[in-house]
Amino acid sequence: MAKEKNIKNLEDLPGIGSATAQKLRDAGYDSIEKIAVASPHDLSELVGISVENAKKAIDAAKQATTVNYETASNFYERRKSLGRITTNSKNLDELLGGGVEVTAITEAYGKFASGKTQIGFQLSVDVQLKKEEGGLEGGVLFVDTEGTFRPERIEAIAKAKGLAPEKALNNIAVVRATNTEDQILVIERADKLIKEKNVKLVVIDSLTALFRSEFLGRSALGERQQKLNSHIHKLQELADDYELAVYVTNQVMDNPGILFGDPTTPIGGNIVAHAATTRLYLRKSKEDKRIVRLVDSPYLPEGEVVIRITPDGISD
């Protein structure tokens, strides 16, 4: 076997020149370890190299990475002790394995009025509850990119949960982002606020809308995906560093490539698909009913439940 070249920098990987390395860094892949766990399709999509070459670079990165392991039982214990936030629907909590989990990104996608924002409001109240009530006694950073944050809804949901509305509202830091720069910056500078307000839930409603409207056309796709990827990486870092939950909403489009079945596809391609730990697909049903489907979970079975959007918030 050929002797492995000593690999320390991204430029040491096969087929990665300095320009490509810079693109990778800009997209959040700033270490050999991160390349080692990347998917070939993501890398290919992000920096415009072939999937074949991306595979080669990833393989080399894997070879060069030392393995830090913990035993599976240790991992399992740690997982079980991590906090979860109730959705206020027993069925949905069960579908999620006990609620929305911390150190993870949970994504809800679906058409307009499918309930994505309402679930964000419910979680923003529920995270403030005591542990035994399904909360984490934490605050919220709510990034509103669509101008649809409604304090009245927080007030109503808080009342229904027995929290003082004034207090509940005070525990939520709302940031209105009107362009992707704002959106990215809020998350990049969130550390201080997270510590001050003991934030246990970050909501981005919506994750993709501004990216979609600012980066139009095929030519802008690469840049859009790079920026989005680095944004999501930062979100995952916050989730890990502060043991908090990240809840993001995502729009959908009709994918004309799908001839049979449901053509509804979430925005953001592979980048968002791989980064979200758990994906929920929301569909409207009769009246206040919504069907929630668990699409992609590393450890939970796929399934569907029905929730209701009531004046008091989400319920079974």
- Is position 253 an interface residue for ligand GTP (rule: CB under 6 A)? no
Q: Which is nearer to ligand GTP, 44 or 117 (CB)?
A: 117
- In DSSP terms, 141 is beta-bridged to 173, 202
Structure-block tokens of residue 69: 């392991």
Separation between Cα atoms, residue 272 and residue 275, nearest integer Å: 5
* Per-residue binder mask for ligand GTP (CB under 6 A), 141-160, x = binder: -----x-x----x-------
* Per-residue binder mask for ligand GTP (CB under 6 A), 77-116, x = binder: ---------------------------------x-xxxxx
Strands (E), the chain: 84-85, 100-101, 104-110, 139-144, 172-176, 199-205, 245-250, 252-254, 264-266, 278-284, 289-296, 303-310, 313-315
Stretch that binds Mg ion, among 131-139, 146-154, 212-220, 285-293 (CB under 5 A): 146-154
CA-wise closest residue to 281 among 269, 266, 270: 266
- Is position 117 an interface residue for Mg ion (rule: CB under 5 A)? yes
Structure-block tokens of residue 316: 């079974």
Stretch that binds Mg ion, among 38-46, 147-155, 158-166, 174-182 (CB under 5 A): 147-155
- Is position 251 an interface residue for Mg ion (rule: CB under 5 A)? no
What's the DSSP call for residue 199?
E
What's the DSSP call for residue 30?
-
Q: Which is nearer to ligand GTP, 30 or 214 (CB)?
A: 214
- Is position 264 an interface residue for ligand GTP (rule: CB under 6 A)? no
Give the residue, chosen from 117, 183, 225, 229, that forms a contact with ligand GTP under the rule CB under 6 A: 117
CA-wise closest residue to 292 among 101, 110, 97, 126: 110
Least distance to Mg ion, CB of residue 148, Å: 5
Structure-block tokens of residue 58: 């990833």
Q: Which is nearer to ligand GTP, 31 or 315 (CB)?
A: 315
Q: Which is nearer to Mg ion, 117 or 180 (CB)?
A: 117
Residues that bind ligand GTP (CB under 6 A): 110, 112-118, 146, 148, 153, 288, 309-311
